[in-house]
Each structure stands twice: as structure tokens, then as C-alpha cells.
Amino acid sequence: MVSVRSAGKALLDRLFVHGTVTATDLVTPRMRRIAIAAPGLGWTPGQHIRLVAEGLVTRRTYSVWDYDGSALELYVLDHGDGPGARWARSVRPDQEVVFTKPEGALVTRPSAYHLFAGDETAAVAFGPMLRALGADASAYGVIEVDTPADRLPIDLTWRFREGASAASSATLVQAVRELDLPDEPGTAYLAGEARTVQAVRAHLVGDRGWPRRSVVTKPFWTPGKKGME
């Protein structure tokens, strides 16, 4: 007879990947890099994992910054005192972590050009998506972060809130409005705070006349609401 404990472990092994932390450090004052050895995964730039932060119930979704076939890199925003932030601050090399395989539809499509807009939570997905496009692709975009120290190595326009809220960010919408884009629509990738994502999409569809199918949205968070990804 199979014990309940053995059955639970078998289910866990089917649903999750077990990896080992190999390194942790800061890439910006508020962004932690966490490298995890996990060979044999499939990954498309822009996809995320769901990591078990506390117990099996509390999971947090993180975009993958890079994956070389043997180890993946997470860039985790160190903000607040939630389960994800506590995990990122406390995790150490040689510690085992459990997470789902990379997944998600925030990936680039064939397009005449590409537009990216979002906040620091979106930047971690946008970086690998841009790298995967190659040097010949045309890309435009704006990333809004708190200060210049929060920038990642991504060749897009950067805007700074300087302490203002990232929620319902009118300054990000205005920055996208000011972009000199080609006359014909390309494909837009909008991610980050939900209400800001909706406002940027409304500008592209309502003001610039983009078809809704040309705008890919991924709301990662919004104040007072849990479980977004």
C-alpha cells in the first residue's frame, strides 16, 4: 500500500521542479539576483515560474531573466514584507527551492516592430524578450522605475517616478504617448501594474488606432489585490 506521504511526494514531483540555489546578490539597490541550478527545462524568453515561497500554499510568480539550459536566473524585486520578499532576502546558496516549469504567453510574436511599456516588475520579462529579438528587430518602449539606480541593462527609454506611486501611472502613459512610432501598428507588450496597463492599452487602441489583437497585456499586480500574475 502506498502511504499518504509517499503519494503526496509523488504528486509534488510531478507538479514541481526541484532546484538548488547557487548564488544570490544585488543587481540594483532593490533587485536581487537569485541563480538556481535546474537542468533540462524548456523556456521561452518572457515566461515565468511559480515558486513555493512559504509552505505549499504560498506561491509567488517571477519572470525568468535568463536560462542557459542548466541554471536559471531570477531578478526579484525586494519590496515590502510579503512572503516573496521574505523568501528573496533569506534564501542562500545550497538551499533547495521548489517551483513550476516556465510558462506564460508574454512572449514576442513575429511583427514589423515591437513596443514595450511597463514598470520594474515588467522589466525582468522585457529584458530577455528584447535579447531574443536579435539586432535586426525594431523595438521601442518605455520602462518606468523609481530612480535611475533601479535601471536594468535594457536598451529602452527609462522614466523615473522619484517616489510617486506606480499605480495608475499617468507619467508612463504620457511617455508612451510621446514615442515617435511608425504609422502602422506593430505588436505591443504591456506589463506591470494593472490599471496602468489598461491606460496604456486604451491610448494605443483609442488614440493611435491599434487593433486590440496587436496589444498583449500582462497585469502583474495592483494595490490591494493578491494572486495576479
Evaluate whether residue 121 is within a structural domain: yes
Residue 126 or 80, more confident = 126
Q: Which residues contact 92 (CB under 8 A, 6 or more apart)?
A: 21, 24
Mean pLDDT of 188-217: 97
pTM score of the predicted model: 0.90
Q: Please tell me the distance from the alpha carbon of residue 30 to that of residue 44, in angstroms, as a whole number.
A: 25
Q: Please tell me the distance from the alpha carbon of residue 108 to that of residue 132, in angstroms, as a whole number.
A: 9
Reported as a single tens digit per residue, the pLDDT across 204-216 is 999 999 999 999 9
Evaluate whether residue 108 is within a structural domain: no
In this structure, the answer to whether residues 118 and 99 fall within a common structural domain is no
What's the structural domain count of the chain? 2
Domain termination site, one of 103, 124, 144 = 103
In this structure, the answer to whether residues 51 and 148 fall within a common structural domain is no
